[in-house]
Structure 1
Amino acid sequence: MKLAVVGGGSTYTPELIDGFARLRDVLPISEIALIDPDPRRLAPVAGVSARMLAGAGHPARITTASDPAEGAAGAQAVLVQLRVGGQAARHLDETVPLSCGCVGQETTGAGGLAKALRTVPVVLDIAERVAEAAPDAWIIDFTNPVGIVTRALLDAGHRAIGLCNVAIGFQRRFAALLGADPGRISLGHVGLNHLTWERSVLLDGREVLPELLDGHAETIADSVGLPAALLRRLGMVPSYYLRYFYEHDAVVAEQRDAPTRAAKVAAMEAELLELYADPAVATKPELLSGRGGAFYSEAAVDLAAALLGDRPGPLVVNVRNGGTLPFLPPEAIIEVPASVGPDGAVPLPVDPVPPLLSGLIAHVAAYEELAGLAAMRGGVDAVTDALLAHPLIGQASVAADLAARLVEAGREHLPWARGEG
């Protein structure tokens, strides 16, 4: 089996390789093609990846390519994990919104829109080239903002499914608190990508969320950046990204006085690439744990194995809503447990969602639809409309000001802003 990774020069990639090596019985792979246009990143990442596989006794070979069609030829699954503009663009995503008093984050709010504007067209172009070389391959999107990118891929007719590591992170965290094997834990996970809540935690089919909140609310609250009292009152666990909504003003104040995450990650990436280039390094560096993406490799392996027919089962993925959440249009992309197999993913039934959640979900889903249109069609007016629809912006003067700033800051990656399309 061949698996291709678009954005294979990412410093994330050894996390993937580590998972592939450890879970070889779940997903037998004979070739991993790393695809990246930047040879300065691709060469050291490919080198350490090959050494990691060899050290683990894994038979797969690492191949490299700069062209997606060349690298994806013959692949059964293609993972997309790219970052258009690198950490420099991410820095703008995190700082430009702050200049207008809004949260600066690369996937939530205005920063997430800026990322979508430059990312969606690139991913769609790559997907077209992948489809020509590997028409039957599944495209697994880990590129943020996952919900918007996944919808664009599906709207364009690609065999695509979105993946995030939030759910598997909660599963592993809850399992550790309960002293249980993660495989015994299933989640009542509901919402949109980076806008989700855990409404149920089942251990061997038994509800244990009240028990978790009774005994570990403070620990869980620390991990999501929200007050323990809020979690107890809600009777559920919001993801970390809900902090940007529930504690917006406090987050903005913190961000104004702190270095950006982009700056921290850029420094970390430089150090990681030096480590990867060292021929003596043949295992995943400890430094990589600070890079983010915890359990990404396990989630990717599980999803690829399910899609390719080896281990079908329920997994939390980003998929078309259909009629799962009746307050959203069928075309919306939701993040819920789904039955995943060779024919794709079908959302499992979801208990009725209360207004406290459904109102925010519907609000953000409407923004995501407008964000996708802005990314596809371009135009300052379209960007302004998306910002006006977002619950974290929503004021006409702020939306107009911020749209102009985002477009100017991202001009390098927006052909339409340069009058080229």
Structure 2
Amino acid sequence: MKLTVLGGGGFRVPLVYQALTAGSPVTEVVLHDVSDPRLAAIRAVLAEMADAHPGAPEVRVATDLDEALADARFVFSAIRVDGLAGRTVDERVALAHGVLGQETTGPGGIAYGLRSVPVARRVARRVAAVAPSAWVINFTNPAGMITEAMQAVLGERVIGICDSPVGLVRRAAEALRATGELAVDYVGLNHLGWLRGLRVDGVDQLPRLLADDTALAGIEEVRLMGADWVRSIGALPNEYLYYYYNTREAVAAIRCAPCTRGEFLRGQQERFYAEVAADPTDALRRWNTVREERDSSYMAESREASGAGERAASDIAVGGYQQVALELMAALSGGPGRTMILNVRNGSSVPGLPPDAVVEVPCVVGAHGVTPLATAPLPGSMLGLLQQVKAVEQDTIEAAVTGSATLALRAFAQHPLVDSVTVAKELLASYRARQPALAAILR
């Protein structure tokens, strides 16, 4: 079975391949990327992994997109339009105007989406042409927005994934010391959702968890946002809700940090790729060293500002999005069915959101495909936030498809983390001035 990875020179691709070496139906991995040097470096890492795991999937590189996609059973879309250089601009422009500078949340996510949607839709059209039976598993951020844009071409054969909800559920279950069968009530959009219930052997144990100070202290999201606040909303929030609930603190912490997350990763990865290009021997050890530094520093400025402390060792060691992808792929390929939190077309799953909106909810996955489960109605405070952010996402998609600067402005202005239409106009002007790809899209 063929797996194609778009963005195959990306730093996290070895995580996927490492998971594949533990056993999967994949026999061939094809890497596609616009950067030959990055592809060469990642291929060197994968070669060492393959040497240590006889029977690991064959790896090859295809520089032509149609060749890479042809006959693929699964396509992992992990592209990053304009690379980390683009991300640093997304973050710095927002911070310069006094609002959150973050990759997927707030104005940075809008700017990233405006540049990424046209590329993602072109990819979707090529998948439809040369691999119409393939499942596309989208890693590309902003994941919900890009999944929705690709679904306009490929329908429900595009599924978005994220490891944030999985990590939240795991931390909650560990805090409860739960050993029975779990059923979760999770609902939201990508990077904007809540765990509202955690049933263990049929009994909802979330109220017990919320009442237990010691147990709550073991959950990173609670340490970020505070036990009193979590109790007041009656749910465990996704870690990215820190940016909505503690906006001033988040902006101040990022502005005071010596560099943004994008700048940190750009410097780190540029050194890695340059070192492996100069000497490809020992590429795997170098990659592991950089990966560990990357994982341990995730959301570091927010954890420091909130007093949340260092990341737990278990959070760093456990499988992330790559494990979600492999479990999804196995279930779709005829393996045991399972329930997973995924980014899928809403239909009627989340009352109050449009049917074509991509939402992040538990789904039943099997050889039949993916079926989102119905969710209970949300309180107005949660639903209102989801509706506002979803409207922003849909305006961003339409602006990117039509080239409408008017819709792009509306997206910036109506985002809950942008506090002024004047600031929205300034953001749009600054992004057009500093992101040539974005300026070329908007009229």
TM-score (norm 2): 0.87
Q: Distance in 1 between matches of 2:226 and 2:220?
A: 6
Question: Is contact 1:37-1:67 (8 Å) kept?
Answer: no
- 1:327 lines up with 2:316 in the alignment: no
Compute the displacement of 1:34 (Å).
1.1
Aligned to 1:253: 252
User: Match for residue 145 of structure 1?
Assistant: 142
Q: Does 1:64 align with 2:55?
A: no
Match of 1:207 in 2: 204
Aligned counterpart, 1:415: 440
Which residue number in structure 2 is paired with residue 351 of structure 1? 376
Contact preservation (8 Å) 1:77, 1:139 = yes
2:282 is matched with 280
Counterpart amino acid of 1:305? A
* Secondary structure class of the residue paired with 1:201: strand
Q: Does 1:229 align with 2:228?
A: yes
Match in the other structure for 1:126: 123
Would you say the 8 A contact 1:93–1:104 is kept in 2? Answer: yes
The offset of 1:201, in angstroms, is 2.0
**Aligned AA (1:170):** L
Partner SS, residue 330 of structure 1: coil
* 1:74 and 2:71 matched: yes
One-letter amino acid of the counterpart of residue 82, structure 1: I
The residue correspondences of 1:252-401 to structure 2 (distance < 5 A) are 252-258=251-257, 259-273=259-273, 274=275, 278-282=280-284, 285-292=288-295, 295-401=320-426
**Mapped partners of 1:123, 1:77: distance in 2:** 16
Contact 1:322 1:330 in 2 (8 A): yes
The code of the aligned residue for 1:287 comes to: V
What residue identity is the alignment partner of 1:265? L
Runs of 4+ in 1 over 6 A off after TM superposition: none
Higher mean Cα deviation, 293-302 or 191-200? 293-302
Counterpart of 1:402?
427
Counterpart Cα distance in 2 of 1:40 and 1:380? 35
| Partners of 2:276 and 2:283 within 8 A in 1 | yes
1:115 shift after superposition? 0.3
CA contact (8 A) 1:315 1:339 kept: yes
CA–CA distance in structure 2, aligned partners of residues 375 and 169 of structure 1: 32
Q: How many residues align?
A: 414
What is the Cα deviation at residue 365 of structure 1? Answer: 1.1
Q: Which moved more, 1:309-318 or 1:61-70?
A: 309-318
Deviations 1:164-204 (A, max 9, x none): 111121233234434557x9444221101110111112334
Mapped to 2, the partners of 1:222 and 1:120 lie a distance apart of 30
2:302: which partner in 1? none
| Larger mean Cα displacement after TM superposition, 280-289 or 148-157 | 280-289
Q: Tell me the C-alpha RMSD between the 2 structures.
A: 2.2
Given that residues 100 and 247 in structure 2 are in contact (C-alpha distance below 8 angstroms), is that contact kept between their aligned partners in structure 1?
A: yes
State the partner residue of 1:103.
100
Residue 173 of structure 1, aligned match among 142, 154, 171: 171
Does the CA contact (< 8 Å) of 2:7 and 2:77 recur in 1? yes
Partners of 2:235 and 2:409 lie apart in 1 by 34
Name the CA shift for 1:278/1:202 in 2 (closer, same or farther; >3 Å): farther
Structure 2: 5+ residue stretches without partners: 299-318
